[in-house]
Amino acid sequence: MKKNSKILALLLAVAFIAFCTVSTRESKVVQAFDTEASYITIKNSTAFTLENIHVTYNGDKELEVGDIRTSSSETAEILPDDRQITEVKISGEIFNGRKFSGTFSGLVNNDTLLTVDMDEDFSLFVTSNIDNFDY
């Protein structure tokens, strides 16, 4: 009888953990669809001015940000009708024609930050604080 009680307790614990995991994922998906962004911030962490910066969101909406000086940031204003964003792509270049781009999907809101940076070999890359969801 004790063995059956232990097995039952173990099964209940596993079921509880599974329920909590599914509940957390569902909460993040609901949060993603209820989140609105009125702007996205782009930060330049390189030693050069970023030029011809474009932000595309939700696949087909494009904003031109212009140029961002070194160690500065700019915001891309989102149109009121398009504030539920689940995908963002940024692209641009520096003075010598070197290009950068990055695509991110997940929870986009007013805290979203896209940072353009440079490696020691002058390779440009983009990072983001977007919380990615794959479910």
At 1-53, the pLDDT tens digits run 677 777 877 777 777 777 766 655 555 555 555 678 889 999 999 999 999 99
Beta carbons within 8 Å of 109's beta carbon, 6+ residues apart: 35, 36, 37
Question: Looking at the structure, do residues 41 and 100 belong to the same domain, yes or no?
Answer: yes
Q: Could you tell me whether strands 50-57 and 124-128 are parallel, antiparallel, or unpaired per DSSP bridges? A: unpaired
Q: What is the CATH number of the domain that holds 66?
A: 2.60.40.2890
Question: Looking at the structure, do residues 14 and 62 belong to the same domain, yes or no?
Answer: no
Residue 11 resides in a domain: yes
Question: Looking at the structure, do residues 40 and 29 belong to the same domain, yes or no?
Answer: no
In the sheet that holds 39-44, the strands lie side by side as 73-77, 39-44, 113-118, 124-128
Question: Looking at the structure, do residues 5 and 26 belong to the same domain, yes or no?
Answer: yes
Residue 135 resides in a domain: no
Question: Looking at the structure, do residues 106 and 80 belong to the same domain, yes or no?
Answer: yes
Minimal CA–CA distance to 114: which of 74, 66, 59? 74
Question: Looking at the structure, do residues 25 and 84 belong to the same domain, yes or no?
Answer: no
Question: Looking at the structure, do residues 84 and 45 belong to the same domain, yes or no?
Answer: yes
DSSP string, 46-84: SSS-EEEEEEEETTTEEEEEEEE-TT-EEEEEPPGGG--
DSSP string, 80-112: GGG---SEEEEEEE-TTS-EEEEEEESB--TT-
The structural domain count of the chain equals: 2
Question: Looking at the structure, do residues 23 and 76 belong to the same domain, yes or no?
Answer: no
Domain that holds residue 86: 36-128
Q: Could you tell me whether strands 61-68 and 73-77 are parallel, antiparallel, or unpaired per DSSP bridges? A: unpaired
At 58-110, the pLDDT tens digits run 888 899 998 999 999 999 998 888 778 889 999 999 988 899 999 999 888 99
